Chain A
Amino acid sequence: MSLKYTEDHEWLQIDGDTAVVGITHHAQDALGDVVFVDLPEIGKSFAAKEVAGVVESVKAAADVYMPVDGEIIEVNEELRADPSLANSDPLNKGWFFKVKLSNPGQVDGLLDETAYQQLSAS
C-alpha cells in the first residue's frame, strides 16, 4: 500500500493493481462546505486526466480527474448521500471511487507526500 498525490489535489491509496481515489485536505479546504458530488458509473473506463467526477461546494464546482488510466470498480455511496464527508474526513470516509489500474506502472509518475506538500504550500 502506498499513498500518492496528483497536481490536481487528488490522493490515491494504491494496493496492487487497484487504487482508492479522493480529494486532499487542501482541496476540500479550498472548496469549502461540500454539498454535492457527481460520481462516475461503475464499469466505465477513463484515461488519466479525464474528468471522472465533480465536487461542489455552495460557492464553487470543481472537476475530479482520473489520476491514471483505469476502470471504475466501486464508488462511495456514503459520500453521495453525505457529501460533507469530503470535508470532515477527506482521506478516509470521504473517498470518491476505486479504480482498477490499466497500467500500474503509471503511479510511479505521481507525486509523493513530500512533493505534494511542497506543491500545495506554494
Chain B
Amino acid sequence: MTPTANLLSTPLNALHIELGARMVPFAGYSMPVQYPAGLMAEHHHTRSAAGLFDVSHMGQLHLTGPDAAAAFESLIPVDVMGLGVNKQRYGLLLNDEGGIIDDLMFVNRDVANGGDLFVIVNGACKHGDLAHIQARIGSRCTITPQFERALLALQGPQAVTALARLLPGVEQLVFMTGMAAQWQGADLYVTRSGYTGEDGFEISLPAPIAEAFARALLAQPEVKPVGLGARNSLRLEAGLCLYGNDIDTQTTPVEAQLNWAIQKVRRNGGARAGGFPGAAKILAQLDGSAPLQRVRVGLVGLERIPVREHVELHNAEGEKIGEVTSGLLGPSADKPVALAYVQAKYTEMGTRLNAMVRGKAVPMEVSPLPFVPNRYHRG
C-alpha cells in the first residue's frame, strides 16, 4: 500500500513497529506519525507529562578547526563567534537573495579549543545543507556529517524528572545549553531545548544504543511515545516555523519575523554587521529602509472551523491579502490556530481577516505568538 521500498529507517524503526505506530514517509524516512494512543492524546501527554520523539531523520554535523566559528558566521546572520561554550543558538542558512535554505540549531562545544560546532538541520534539507556548507566554507574548516547518529527529543514538564534518572546532571541545564553525558559506555550529548514550546531535551546518541536508551526512557512512568502528528500540532501552538511550510527560499528572516535570531552584533552598527548571504537585503528590511511585501503573523479562528495551509486570506473588501502556511485546530489552544503571510498593513494585533475555506469566509484575527505560553526552563 505505502511505497516503502526506497525509504530509510531510523535506528528506532523496530521499536516504532512494536509500539504499534502508524508509519508514514517523511523526509525520505519511514517515520511514526502516531501511536495507538492517537495524536490528541499524545499532544496532551507532552503538555502535561513527557513525550518521547524520534527525530533521528534530522541531520547532525560537526564543524571543526580554528576558523570554524568565523566560517559558519559567514553563512548565517547569527552571532557564532560570541557564543559561549555549551551554549546553543537558533540559526538560518541563507541564499544570496536572503531566502532561507534551512533553519537549524547549533551548539558551541568549545570549537576554539579543539572542540566543534555541533549543528542540527532538518532531515529533508540535510544533504543540500551539507553540499551548501561544503561549497561555501569547506576550505576554511572540516565538516563532518554524522547522519547515522540518532536524535531523540524528550519534551514536557516532566521530561527533566524522567531524564535525570538516566542521566544525572541534566537537571542543571537551562534552556539552550548542553552537556556531554555517558550512558552504558556510550557518548551522548544533551541539550535543554526542543520544538514544542515545553521544557525538554534533545539527546544525540550513537545509533547502536538508541533503541536501548529509548526503551529505558519509555520505562519511566512519565514518558510515552509521540509521533510526528503531535510534533506538528505542538510546534504550531508554540508559534514555531516548519521549514517548507512557513519558511523557505522565497522567505527572508525578517519577513518570517525571526528578527530575534539576528543578534545586534550582525546588524547595522554592530561590530560584525553583515557578512552573511543576502545581508544587504536583510539589513535593509531590518532597519525599515526596505519595506516588507509580506509578513508572517499568527491567526486565531473566531469560529470552530480548522483553517489549513494554502487557504487564502481576504480583507473586508474581498481582496486576497495573504495565505495560510500552517493551520489546524490547536488541541491545547482549543481553537483554530494558523501561521500565515499577509501584506504588511494587515499585521496589527486584532486585525480581522477572512479565511476562504471551501468558498466560505471564516473570520480570523491576527494574534500574538505563541498561541500557548512557552514553558522553557530558563533557570
Contacts and interface: CB of A to CB of B under 8 A. Distances in A.
A3 interface: no
A106 to B, nearest CB: 26
A56 interface: yes
A59 B229 CA distance: 7
Nearest to B40: A33
B38 A33 contact: yes
A34 to B, nearest CB: 10
B39 A59 contact: yes
Main secondary structure of the interface of A (DSSP, over half): strand
B308 interface: yes
Contacts of A58: 39-40, 43, 229, 233, 328-329, 331
A8 interface: no
Contact of B39 (A32, A38, A54, A56): A32
B345 interface: no
Interface in A22-40: 32-33, 35-36, 38
Nearest to B33: A59
Nearest to A33: B40
Interface residues of A, number: 11
A54 B357 CA distance: 11
Interface string B36-50: 001110010000000
Main secondary structure of the interface of B (DSSP, over half): mixed
Given A33-B38, A36-B329, A61 B305 contact: no
B232 A59 contact: yes
A57 interface: yes
Interface string B230-246: 00110000000000000
Contacts of A56: 306, 329
Residue of A32, A36, A58 with highest tally of chain B CB at under 10 A = A58
Contacts of B331: 58
Interface string A47-59: 0000000101111
A57 B308 CA distance: 11
A38 B360 CA distance: 12
B378 interface: no
B159 to A, nearest CB: 22
Contacts of A57: 39
Nearest to A61: B308
B304 interface: yes
Given A58-B331, A61-B308, A38 B40 contact: no
A36 B40 CA distance: 13
Residue of B43, B232, B358 with highest tally of chain A CB at under 10 A = B358
B34 interface: yes
A36 B306 contact: yes
Contacts of B34: 32
A89 B306 CA distance: 22
Contacts of A59: 33, 39, 229, 232-233, 328
A58 B38 CA distance: 10
Interface of B: 33-34, 38-40, 43, 229, 232-233, 304-306, 308, 328-329, 331, 358
Given A32-B40, A36-B305, A38-B305, 8 more contacts: A33-B38, A36-B329, A54-B358, A56-B306, A58-B39, A58-B40, A58-B229, A59-B328
12 contacts: A32-B40, A33-B38, A36-B304, A36-B306, A36-B329, A38-B305, A56-B306, A58-B40, A58-B229, A59-B33, A61-B306, A61-B308
